[in-house]
Structure 1
């Protein structure tokens, strides 16, 4: 990538309209005498094509924030908008991938991936074509007719990612999707989601407890305080672009990487 292309990438987010806008977003569980504030006064914009990783101490409200973005729960204060329209309930515009893939265990991989388009009554010929495309994208073509219960953890997550992406969501919401995987599989899945993000231009909102994972994937890292969770840092990072454009992950051994890692850990540990 030459300097002119780099400049285009760096300036893209400044020129784009926000995809997600969160204004004064708060959530309090049980508004009565035992009220528990989960998140408080979140003000964040997310732009098309960003890979946003969210970090913070356990119980700080990361998953609560994702659930609000997904439309699973409404905020008790403030507004959340997608393309200037307030989010009210779930829809296909936001795909969700959890740590434990919500797949139908006795269905084949192919049938799981096809489920969303089938519910939308997409023509069968188009479903077949798109399922084949997404099976190839996530490297599951040869396992297409296997039942989900026959798959490894990594393969299940590949199927879950394909099941979310086939609906062409405007943003992919991922809640510690690789947290239960072994180290080698986790690294492979990080490479897969980075490749999908880069080639598709999808916007990704990704929760993780792993600082290295955040630095190796994100274009931007949000750090939250202990509950009630607030955004205490909003950090641009470039390592994932370096990995893609240089076709090497040596960036993780650089001084810049280690300094950023130290800074984020310090922010979290001070909570």
Structure 2
């Protein structure tokens, strides 16, 4: 297997959204990644980034959230453009794992009609609630005639332990991560928004944009136990410093 880390855009946001003790006038730029894992039994995509129409009309796509999360980039760095760089066609993706269905993680779902989508049953039900529209969730991102397979626990995609979807709720009710294991290689954990920045993992800092903070802390502790038991490498969901360092990792290949 090979893991390709793709940056589908950046978002400019107040740092205190993620680190509450930060000054309100400090802004950070967050990478918005998606990951392609090539596997002998079929390629797997972890998250699909934002929809490229975002760069034409951010407020039309995201409403008021576009004030808090300002997109940086253009259509040329969306998920389809990133895959094209690696000669990977959308219909060649066998599975898409949605960590959750927020606007920056599931905006490209519609481009993979041939894939099976692995999404938490709780997450899909939560996204469907009318009161959640515009609060991180937009039907325009995920509500398409796609093959959603609803998960209710761990799911070993190919039955060989190499790609295991694991529940990690808190940021959203059905948030999940992907554990990638290769023979004679360090395990990689694609953590989504369970620990978006290293401070959330190392210092148990809780961001402001979670569904259930207590559940977040339980999940982070569970994640720490997983990492220690496997000596795994955690890829944070939106950590700019780590993103810059990923190019040094011997297993993960970056695509910009």
Structure scoring higher RCO (CA < 8 A, sep ≥ 6) equals 1
| Greater share of helix | 1
| Greater share of strand | 2
Calculate the TM-score normalised by the size of structure 1. 0.28
Structure 1 or 2, whichever has the larger Rg, is 1
Calculate the TM-score normalised by the size of structure 2. 0.30
